[in-house]
Amino acid sequence: MTPPHIFGPVASRRLGRSLGIDLIPFKTCSFDCVYCECGATTRLSVSREEFFPPAGIRESLDQALKENPALDYITFAGSGEPTLSRSVREIISFLREGYPAYRIALLTNGSLCSDPDVIEDIRGADLIIPTLSSAFQETYEAIHRPHPSLTVESHIEGLKALRRAFSGRIWLEVFLIPGINMDRDH
């Protein structure tokens, strides 16, 4: 049985065999993307919180990793935006110290990377996969339906700051949506 906060391992076309960590209550996100496979966001937020006690997450990871499963990555992902969790840094550090053989990936929409604390919290990952599907505010809003405080300009500046501060790999994820962001201007 998979412990709470942990899912998989799953077969990922990008990440191979990946054990997922979900630090966020279901559908708590800074975006309400039109393409989200989890459905509509029920809690649109940019407020970072400690949603679940880190001790419980560490216990779940110990249980899931006790037999040293063959994994290509341990991946922060799930049903919302992982960087909303104030526990992300602590859990990355826990994995680095207790399970150094595993590579760590973070799937993020990238919207909070304009916050230096977020960048500091996620620097321990090996791979960060942020999203950017438009460089135009109107299209950005049509695709991501972001929290009202977010702009495409701050999103792009945050991704630039991430690149400057993070020495690991970044794979930019772009969602192409017919009729919205697939014309020549985009």
Query: Between vectors from CA 173 to CA 119 and to CA 44, what angle results, nearest 5°?
Result: 65
Classify the phi-psi angles of 179: left when phi > 0, otherwise alpha if psi is within -120 to 50, otherwise beta. left
* pLDDT at site 113: 96
Q: Is the separation of the CB atoms in 51 and 85 below 8 Å?
A: yes
78 confidence band (pLDDT: 50, 70, 90)? confident
* pLDDT at site 4: 58
Start-to-end CA distance of the chain, whole Å, equals 45
**What is the pTM assigned to this prediction?**
0.92
How much is the mean pLDDT over the chain?
92
Query: 120-159 pLDDT, tens per residue?
Result: 999 999 999 999 999 999 999 999 999 999 999 999 999 9
**Rounded CA separation 138/94 (Å):** 40
* pLDDT at site 36: 82
Q: What number of other Cβ atoms are within 10 A of residue 155's Cβ? A: 26
Which amino acid is it at 181? N
pLDDT at 2 over 60: no
